[in-house]
Amino acid sequence: MGSIADTTTLANGVKMPWLGLGVFKVADGPQVENCVRWALEIGYRHIDTAAIYGNERGVGRAVRDSGIPREQIFITTKVWNDAVRAGRDAVLRAFDQSLQKLGLDYVDLYLIHWPVKEKCLEAWEAVQQIYLQRRARAIGVSNFLVHHLDDLRRHSGTTPMVDQVEFHPRVLQRDLIAYCRQHGIQLESWAPLMQGEIFKIPLINELAGKYGKTAAQIALRWLIQHQVVAIPKSVHRERIAENAAIFDFELSEEDMTRIDALDRNQRVGTHPDHFDF
Ligand code: NAD
């Protein structure tokens, strides 16, 4: 893992960059276009959006305007809960809308955003159809705990390639790490910086001093060394650059263990078993 362009290889052979730019709560139009453009200039080759973020148009425009060949950029989007609840055809329609807003022929990764009760299997069938039509190069899920993954695998007979979950030093989820490793599922972290809360943790700040890096860089490096893909969000050019400068140092095994010990099973977002939106 020596550079910003380094990738992990998904179960179907598709390569996914370890680091991406997240664009949750970034406004469509100039704001998202600017931060995607800056990220691509800095060397990011991976952008994480979702239908519910309302900024797929701007993401697509910035990607198309970058002049970088499409196949060099990894784009993720996600199907929102309303479509999942409405069933198979609604998921297929939601995908068409995302593709149209992005202005692209395909996405690199399409995810079911949340494990909507009783409806995941049907949504997964639609997502698999999209994959078989080669309109998504890889498919997966988000906010799935071990029991959700187990259910889906048992009933569908197939395995998602990626699971994107809240993952940071306060919610380490060893069971999920072990399960994903066993079944060839790539884990991806959302809220890698705990939506800003990471900066309040004394150990992270202490290690920033020790390694001559920033707290954000320590938290992101910890994820990469755990072989978890990270998609930090920022709308500031200098922070987007800072968050990518994590490939020139390595945390010692001892410091990895010290960060692991920060785990409190504590989330900044909704618990996947208790969401209702
Ligand atoms: P995050 O942990 O990436 O934190 C983002 C916040 O941290 C920013 O708003 C900024 O205030 C601060 N920040 C970023 N870089 C910084 C730096 N270098 N120094 C100081 N402060 C800095 O939180 P997030 O945006 O919730 O998560 C990242 C991405 O994950 C999202 O943008 C989105 O793409 C994805 N996401 C997915 C889900 C899901 O349900 N699948 C949920 C939330 C987020």
pLDDT digits (tens, 9 = 90+) for 255-267: 999 999 999 999 9
- Does residue 68 sit within a domain? yes
- Does residue 277 register a pLDDT over 80? no
Report the pLDDT averaged over residues 222-251.
98
In this structure, which amino acid lies at residue 260? Answer: D
Total tally of structural domains belonging to the chain: 1
CA angle 125, 112, 6 (to 5 degrees): 110
Pairing between β-strand 186-190 and β-strand 7-9 as defined by DSSP bridges: unpaired
Report pLDDT for 275. 83
- Does residue 1 register a pLDDT over 70? no
- Does residue 254 sit within a domain? no
- Does residue 276 register a pLDDT over 60? yes
Report the pLDDT averaged over residues 210-221.
98
* 206-213 own/partner pairs: CB under 8 Å, 24+ apart: 207/251, 207/255, 207/258, 207/259, 210/255, 211/249, 211/251, 213/245, 213/246, 213/249
Nearest CA to ligand 1 atom 42: 190
The reply to whether the predicted model has a pTM over 0.85 is yes
Query: What count of residues does the chain have?
Result: 277
- Does residue 2 register a pLDDT over 90? no
- Does residue 183 sit within a domain? yes
Give the percent of the chain with pLDDT over 70.
99
Report whether 176 contacts 146 (CB < 8 A): yes
Give the percent of the chain with pLDDT over 90.
97
Q: Name the residue of 26, 234, 242 to mutate for ligand 1: max ligand atoms within 8 A of Cβ.
A: 234
- Does residue 4 register a pLDDT over 80? yes
Distance CA 166, CA 161 (A): 17
CA of 233 to the centre of ligand 1 (A): 4
pLDDT digits (tens, 9 = 90+) for 91-132: 999 999 999 999 999 999 999 999 998 999 999 999 999 999
Residues that are catalytic: 53
Read off the CATH number of the domain in which 20 is found: 3.20.20.100
Q: Distance between alpha carbon 35 and the CA centroid of its chain, in Å? A: 17
- Residue 76 belongs to domain spanning: 7-196+227-234
Nearest CA to ligand 1 atom 41: 142
Distance CA 191, CA 179 (A): 21
Lining ligand 1 with CB less than 6 A are 22-24, 48, 113, 142-143, 164, 190-196, 216, 231-234, 239, 242-243, 269
Average pLDDT over the chain reads 97
- Does residue 55 register a pLDDT over 80? yes
Nearest to 171 by CA among 147, 197, 207, 209: 197
Nearest CA to ligand 1 atom 16: 239
- Does residue 239 register a pLDDT over 70? yes
- Does residue 107 sit within a domain? yes
- Does residue 152 sit within a domain? yes
User: How buried is residue 107: exposed, middle or buried, by Cβ count under 10 Å (0-12/13-18/19+)?
Assistant: buried
Report the pLDDT averaged over residues 195-221.
98
- Does residue 270 register a pLDDT over 80? yes
- Distances in Å between the Cα of 275 and the Cα atoms of 80, 143, 172 are 13, 10, 20
Report whether 111 contacts 146 (CB < 8 A): no
- Does residue 272 sit within a domain? no
Pairing between β-strand 7-9 and β-strand 15-17 as defined by DSSP bridges: antiparallel
- Does residue 251 sit within a domain? no
